[in-house]
């Protein structure tokens, strides 16, 4: 069997997309931690275009970009499929993954700002969450149906990372009263054994985001 390796960073939700997918399919892999604030020669060699994690290596061949890696994993190890079989449903799964990624600045703006700007950014984040809840999730248990799929993994950052960001920024965007369905989805996601046993430590994540926020909101020195 060919060697599988993931180069990642402990705090990255994009890396967890990949490791969750591999775990759900029962694929053994080697994990290598990378310090993204002090990038190794290996990372620069494996991902010269973006110099980012995750990088996926299979039989010596490398792939970068988490959504591209997920598609590769799905095709290479078809057991426990993460995409529906129906072509239109597959397209919807890809559409919502793309929505989450395209709207990233709108979702995270509240984390990088303060005061009036933060209030405005939090409202924008809630607009996006509303769309996800009403059009994406609707009344389903998971985004792709009855069981966990690619979209759930791609939006997994809502389940662990958003909470830590809200804590660090001192503002709640995903409140249970406005988003009951998303809250139920987060609870269901956290109960999936692979997810339950594989996620960043919340205390460590909160400290990390507190530190990151200080960097973003530090006043510019003259």
DSSP string, 37-84: TS--HHHHHH-TTT--S-EEEETTEEEESHHHHHHHHHHH--SS-SS-
Question: What's the closest the beta carbon of residue 18 comes to another protein, in angstroms?
Answer: 12
Nearer to another protein, 135 or 204 (CB): 135
Please state, in angstroms and rounded to a whole number, the distance separating the CA atoms of residues 49 and 62: 12
Contact 106, 128 (CB under 8 A): yes
Applying the rule CB under 8 A, the residues between 186 and 205 that interact with another protein are: none
The token duo for 92 is: 């919807």
- Give how many residues touch another protein by CB under 8 A: 26
Contact 6, 15 (CB under 8 A): yes
Task: Return all residues near 92 (Cβ < 8 A) that are at least 6 apart.
Answer: none
Contact 72, 16 (CB under 8 A): no
Applying the rule CB under 8 A, the residues between 27 and 86 that interact with another protein are: 48-49, 58, 61, 63-65, 67-69, 71-72, 75-76
Nearer to another protein, 158 or 168 (CB): 158
Question: What's the closest the beta carbon of residue 211 comes to another protein, in angstroms?
Answer: 26
Question: What's the closest the beta carbon of residue 77 comes to another protein, in angstroms?
Answer: 11
Q: Segment contacting another protein (CB under 8 A): 8-16, 32-40, 98-106, 165-173?
A: 98-106
Please state, in angstroms and rounded to a whole number, the distance separating the CA atoms of residues 29 and 101: 26
Q: Which of 98, 120, 187, 204 binds another protein (CB under 8 A)?
A: 98
Nearer to another protein, 88 or 218 (CB): 88
Contact 82, 137 (CB under 8 A): no
**Contact map string, positions 78 to 97, toward another protein, x by CB under 8 A:** ---------xx-xxx-xx--
Q: Which of 9, 10, 31, 99 binds another protein (CB under 8 A)?
A: 99
Question: What's the closest the beta carbon of residue 131 comes to another protein, in angstroms?
Answer: 6
Helix (H) or strand (E) holding 184: helix 180-191
Q: Which of 135, 147, 187, 204 binds another protein (CB under 8 A)?
A: 135
Question: What's the closest the beta carbon of residue 205 comes to another protein, in angstroms?
Answer: 25
- Strand order, beta sheet including 55-58: 30-33, 4-8, 55-58, 61-64
The token duo for 25 is: 């399919």
**In the complex, which residues of this chain contact another protein (CB under 8 A)?**
48-49, 58, 61, 63-65, 67-69, 71-72, 75-76, 87-88, 90-92, 94-95, 98-99, 102, 131, 135
């Amino acid at each position: 069997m060919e060697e599988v390796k993931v180069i990642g960073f402990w705090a990255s939700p994009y890396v967890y997309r990949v490791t969750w997918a591999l775990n759900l399919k029962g694929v053994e892999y080697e994990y290598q931690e990378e310090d993204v604030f002090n990038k190794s020669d290996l990372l620069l060699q494996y991902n010269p275009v973006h110099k980012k994690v995750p990088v996926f290596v299979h039989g010596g061949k490398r792939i970068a970009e988490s959504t591209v890696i997920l598609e590769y994993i799905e095709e290479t190890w078809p057991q426990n499929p993460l995409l529906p079989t129906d072509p239109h449903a597959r397209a919807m799964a890809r559409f919502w993954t793309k929505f989450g990624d395209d709207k990233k600045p709108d979702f995270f703006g509240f984390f990088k700002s303060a005061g009036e700007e933060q209030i405005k950014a939090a409202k924008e984040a809630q607009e996006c969450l509303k769309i996800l809840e009403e059009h994406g999730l609707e009344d389903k248990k998971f985004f792709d149906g009855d069981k966990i799929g690619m979209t759930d993994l791609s939006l997994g950052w809502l389940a662990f990372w958003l909470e830590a960001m809200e804590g660090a920024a001192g503002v709640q965007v995903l409140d249970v009263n406005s988003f009951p369905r998303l809250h139920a989805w987060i609870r269901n996601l956290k109960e999936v054994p692979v997810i339950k046993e594989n996620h960043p430590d919340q205390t460590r994540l909160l400290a990390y985001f507190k530190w990151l926020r200080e960097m973003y909101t530090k006043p510019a020195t003259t």
